Structure formats: C-alpha cells, structure tokens
Amino acid sequence: MPLALFDIKTPLDPLRDQLRAAALGVLEDGQYILGPNVGAFESEFADYLGVNHAIGVANGTDALTIALRAMGVGPGDDVVVPSFSYYASAEAIPPTGARPVFCDVDPETFCVTADTVRAALTPRTKVVIAVHLFGNVAPVAEIEALGIPVLEDAAQAAGSTVAGRKAGALGTAATFSFFPSKNLGGFGDGGAVVTNDAEIADRVRVLRFHGSSDQVTYDEVGYNSRLDEMQAALLRVTLPELDGWAAGRRAAGRHYEDVGLGELVALPQPTPDSAPAWHLYVIRHPLADPLAEALGRVGIGAKAYYRTPIHRQPAMLPYAHGISLPATDEVAAAHLAIPMNPALSRIDAIEVVSAIGGVSA
C-alpha cells in the first residue's frame, strides 16, 4: 500500500467534532484578533512547556526575528546558527540588522554542539540559535556554558524532551511553528515565542503589534504578527493530544530500529538524555537520491530537505565567504526523510525496510 511521508489526517480524525465546534465557537463569538482563545492557548501552551510566558505570533519565521530583537539583537551583532536547517533559521537574522554566522553540526544527531558553536563564535556574538532539528534536542545547557544566550528553534520539536524537560523550556527563549505538518500543527500559519524572562516576553508582545503596547503610541517599528483567534481555538483542541502523538512518533522510530533498518542505512541518533518526538525520521545513505526515487516508484514517500545547506544558498553567500562546514556538506548530500507520523505501525516500518532492502540488495 502507498505510504506517505506525512499523514496529517489520521491523527486528527478522532478530533473532527471538537475542531468543528471550536471553529463554530469563534464564528459565533465574532472576535478574530487577539481574542479569548489566543490568551487561553498562550496560557495552556506555557503550562505544557513549563515556562512563564508564551506569546502567539503569525508564523515560526516571525517568531525567530521577533525573539532575536526582544533578546537585544541588532545592527553590529553576530548570531551563530547552523547551516544544516530550514532556511528560516538564518533568514530571520538579517532583518534584525545582525549577521548570521554559520556553524557545523554533529552528523549523527544533525544538531549543533558546544564544539561546533565554539568554533563559530566571534567577539560580536550576541545569541546562538540552537535548532532542534527533525525533533532531536540540541545540547542547550552545554552551549549556554559558553556564556552566550541561547534561542531554541523548536519549530520541529514540540513534544520532544531532554532529561524530562520539554524542548522549548531550556534556553533564554524559544520559538515554535504551528505549520500544519509540524508535531503540533495548526490549520494554516502560526507560531509562538516562549520564555521565562518577563522583559523579553513584554518586548515580544510590543513587537508583534506594530511596536505598540497600548495600540495608540508606537514606540518602535514592529510587526503585524499575531496568532489569529481561529488558529488558537483549533490548537487548544490539539494541544492535549501532543504528548500522545509524541509517544507515537517515538514508537515509530523504535519500530524502524526493531525491524532492522539500521542494518541498511545510518539511523538518526538521539542526543544524550533526549527523547525526540521525531518530526521527520531522517536516515543517511551514500546513494540517497536514487534510494528516494526507488521508494517513490513503490509508493513510499521519501524526501531530501536540505540538499543545499543555508550557507550555500544564493541570498546567504555574502555571509558565507571562506566557510568550511564538512559535516554539514556530508549530511546535506546523504540525508533522506522516510515516512513518520504518530500512527506509523510496525507493519508500516516492515514495509519501508523491505523496500529499502530491496533497493540496497
């Protein structure tokens, strides 16, 4: 049977009636911008993560830019960021006036490490963006020990934990995306900034609303970037399911391990003490593109996400002169995402592994 790379529909099927009721409630209430559901979701999401503040914004990219500005990043500053990530991780930096400085990753975990960050630090480094890539959890505490504030890019890691703490509650601040395919996906665009720092939280609230705290006086140039009421209402329905979905993603990863995938390809390795809620299950194989084509022919979804790492993207070349990131180049060439979702079964994993084995034989 065909097996999609993503299955957004199946986990949502039991929630259809609740989702319809939530949407109808917003229509009947008639409040669409910063209404009661936004405030309620922000409180519930903060409680879930174990942080003091969650502020809804329009999308995950805005969340990064606004969070950086709220942390004091501006012209003349450097922000260290991995090149092996989604483009937005670095794209969010230049609008602050700061410069992205690219660092390498650990090819086994796909995440930055204290060593890869240390190699990229400059006298002007103001913040390090630690990306919890594919749901794995970057070693935030080790990076913070370098003496630089850490902004977690947790867009792909809702539901992941390390030593019992939620991804997003580890650094000075964190950002999330609620893009529909994410672990906690909405029904359009949406994002959030979370933090324990009241001053950062207040600054995020001002920046998301045109730089105004009272909607009358505009103290700085901000953004029109608010999580809308409909998205918040629907996310309030799905948030209680997140831990169950995260457990399903972890179980799916174990299925792949148990049925022998590691004998055919290199598996993603969780960082120490982490329990990743795999957003994507990303393997490594020296012939990743031919493998993807062969899987596609038998109806199994597979995709390379970052064949061209960020520092090699045309818009980022002015920031990348003379940079050598060997692990990034290695994983960019060899990585491949295979089917992952909370409902992926052992039988599904056997089907995938059998197909990969047939190609590799």
* Of 197, 224, 240, the domain-final residue: 240
Instruction: Give the pLDDT confidence score for residue 361 in this predicted structure.
Output: 53
pLDDT under 50 in the chain at which residues? none
Q: Which single residue is written with the structure tokens 């009241």?
A: 198
253/219 same-domain check: no
193/112 same-domain check: yes
* Helix-helix angle 229-238:16-29, to 10 degrees: 150
What distance in Å separates the CA atoms of residue 334 and residue 330, rounded to the nearest whole number? 6
191/133 same-domain check: yes
Instruction: Give the pLDDT confidence score for residue 358 in this predicted structure.
Output: 84
What distance in Å separates the CA atoms of residue 289 and residue 286, rounded to the nearest whole number? 9
- Phi and psi torsions of 158, nearest 5°: -60, 125
Query: What is the number of structural domains in the chain?
Result: 2
* Of 240, 268, 303, the domain-final residue: 240
* Global model pTM greater than 0.85: yes
Classify residue 264: in a domain, yes or no: yes
Q: Which tokens is 329 given?
A: 């180049």
* Of 212, 240, 268, the domain-final residue: 240
The overall average pLDDT reported for the chain is 97
Range of the domain at 175: 9-240
